[in-house]
Amino acid sequence: MATTERSGLTGLKHACKECGTPLGFEGLCWKCRARHHREEINGWSEQEIERKKEEVIEKLKGSEEDEFYKTDECDIFRDLMTRGVDCNEISRATCEKEIYYPSALYYKADEEVRDKLIEKLMATKSADTGSRLLGCLAMIGDKKSQDILYELKQHPKPWRKDLYVDSDSYAEEAGWTFDCKNEHIILNYNKCFSFEPGEAKNEKGTFIAKKRGEKCPHCGCELVDILVIDGRDERLAFLGLDGIITASCCPNCITLSEGVSNRFTLDGKNEIMDYEGIDENYFEHSDCIDQMTENKYVVSEKERPLFYGAFNDDVNTIGGFASWVQDWEYRDCPECGKKMKYLAQIHWDTIIDCAEGTLFIEICPECKIITMFHQQT
């Protein structure tokens, strides 16, 4: 996580016209631009949504396989997904054009589309096409799609040798996988809430970041309770947590290490398990910890669509789909070895000026273990 101290920004000639953030240009900062874009999308009427869908479909009809994902219309498709719009018509148009990327184009597609993809997958001799079709079937995610992915793991095609992972790993992109007996395993939660700016964060409820009152044994940085979740909140009942859980880390070491795990109890207490840290404290001469802990984020009153936080780094979320910076990554629980479940994401530059990357938080509810890790470009 790279950061720039606020004091180093005072030489910039301009400021955001809305929030006052120092800028090197006239206009709005990225946060305010992103907020306006969200507000615009969330304000689309049903008629506007239908027009947007038509725009995407028309673009698909004139696109080749490796073109669509680069277009403005692909961004519109993602915006539609953040609204929770049924995109089955888009899936059908995508299938007709044999466009298989991004795989989210096929999320919950109908049986006719699914069967066409299966036919194509079982006939292809191309590892590239096979790889993309596996991802598309994973996004459809029904029993027949799972059975095909399972079959291809048990009896792989010749092109499997040119792929890095088995078909069960492709399923993970869609938030699920399967075991050696083809038992379905869910890796994300079926509801989503976002963190939104409020008047003040509620440290008696669910919130982001407070000082822990302890120092990192490796670098001496202030340890932080980076996320506290009150599972007794009715909005978060889908998590199945009858109490308060706390995820804690060294914000300095977490960005340059393999990750940090905690053992938690439902009274809000936890134990930070041993982790590999670094020697140098890059936060030592900055106000980053104060910035981080002074945020005013509160949990959204309304439930968000599952893909609300999946395509951009402007919003922190609990549940739903993650906006992976690199590939999707579900860690193995250090206690039982099973895949952990994606819980939440915090984009560093939403709580620290000019920071980079995202903190992903995963949970094994059975073992009461939380794992955090960092990704950035």
Where along the chain do its domains lie?
Answer: 6-39, 46-186, 192-375
The answer to whether the CB of 243 falls within 8 A of the CB of 268 is yes
CA atoms lying within 13 Å on the CB side of residue 182: 13
Residue range 27-65, pLDDT digits in tens: 999 889 999 999 999 999 999 999 999 999 999 999 988
Going by their DSSP bridges, the two strands 176-178 and 14-15 should be labelled as unpaired
pTM of the entire predicted model: 0.94
Residue type, 147: D
Q: How confident is the model at residue 8 (pLDDT cuts 50, 70, 90)?
A: very low
DSSP code, position 287: S
Across residues 351-371, what is the average pLDDT?
Answer: 96
CA dihedral 103, 323, 374, 201 (to 10 degrees): -160
* Structure token digits, residue 168: 């069960």
Dihedral over alpha carbons 318, 324, 329, 333 (to 10 degrees): -20
Mean confidence (pLDDT) of the chain: 95
pLDDT in tens, 104-133: 999 999 999 999 999 999 999 999 999 999
For the chain, percent of residues with pLDDT exceeding 70: 97
Please report the beta strands in the chain, taking only residues with DSSP state E, as ranges in sequence order: 14-15, 22-23, 176-178, 184-186, 192-197, 207-215, 222-230, 244-249, 260-264, 270-272, 297-299, 317-319, 341-347, 358-364, 369-375
SS3 32: helix
Residue 3 has pLDDT above 50, yes or no: no
pLDDT of residue 272: 99
- CA distances to 47, 88, 90, 308 from 81, in Å: 16, 11, 11, 7
Higher pLDDT residue, 295 or 2?
295
- CA separation for the pair 175, 140 (Å, rounded): 11
**Contact at 8 Å (CB) between 121 and 133?**
yes
HSE of 302 in the Cβ direction (CA atoms, 13 Å)? 5
The whole-angstrom separation of Cα 36 and Cα 236 is 27
5 pLDDT more than 60 = no
